[in-house]
Amino acid sequence: MAEEETLPPLDPAGLGAYFALIEVSSLLRHTVEQQLLDAGDLSYVQFQLLATLGDAPDGSRRMTELADGVVYSRSGLTYQVGLLEKAGLVTRGPSADDDRGVTVSITEAGRDVLAKVFPGHIDVLRQLFLAPLARKDIESLARILTDVRDHMRTVPPRSAKPRRKSG
């Protein structure tokens, strides 16, 4: 896609990695989304949220932690957590140390759903994503992408987005 001849001599490998990354993640996400919908009536975001909560030591997280964890807008998170709450998969409660905060906790039902969809999820991953790769490639991929993620997490908190004001 768009490797115009008239452009500066940019890393062809870099571009290739980028385009392939976007395409792979899009395709993967679509397929996974379908599986989650079939298996447990979950959207991808909802799965990510439940998974993040399930992974937390006490099954709870603050709203902001969740939003950052899944790279999502605050308002969108409010909406999705609302849906999950209505479905009985999470509960909302006040935060211990900060009265502004909302703590979201996964319920038993939530864990059940998670357990129900996980095997199929893994299957999709294996068949669609990991199948063509050698063990070594998978390890390389994990290491490289983890490096990138760490880099991204540190460098720019999130672009030039000072909260209203001061402009």
Determine phi and psi for 2, rounding to 5 degrees: 50, 65
**Which tokens in the block code for residue 86?**
């209505």
**Which tokens in the block code for residue 66?**
């969740």
Instruction: Return the one option of its own copies, DNA, none that residue 166 interacts with (CB less than 5 to 8 A, by type).
Output: DNA
CB of 12 to DNA, least distance (A): 28
CB of 99 to its own copies, least distance (A): 28
**Which tokens in the block code for residue 159?**
């672009």
Torsion of CA 94, 96, 100, 105, to 10 degrees: -40
Instruction: Return the one option of DNA, its own copies, none that residue 75 interacts with (CB less than 5 to 8 A, by type).
Output: DNA
User: Which residues are CB-contacts of 151 (< 8 A; sequence separation ≥ 6)?
Assistant: none
Q: What is d(CA 154, CA 108) in angstroms, rounded to the nearest whole number? A: 35
CB of 58 to DNA, least distance (A): 15
The answer to whether 50 and 65 are in contact (CB under 8 A) is no
CB of 25 to DNA, least distance (A): 13
Tell me the per-residue interface mask from 45 to 84 with its own copies, x by CB under 8 A, - otherwise. ---x-xxx-xx-------------xxx-------------
Which window, 57-65, 78-86, 90-98, 133-141, contacts its own copies (CB under 8 A)? 133-141
For DNA, which is the closer residue by CB, 36 or 114? 36
CB of 80 to DNA, least distance (A): 5
Q: Hey, which residues between 56 and 115 contact DNA (CB under 7 A)? A: 62-64, 67, 72-83, 92, 95, 98-103
**Which tokens in the block code for residue 108?**
């038993």
97: helix, coil or strand? coil
Q: What is d(CA 51, CA 81) in angstroms, rounded to the nearest whole number? A: 13
Please give the residue ranges that form the binding site for DNA (CB under 7 A): 43, 45, 62-64, 67, 72-83, 92, 95, 98-103, 162-166
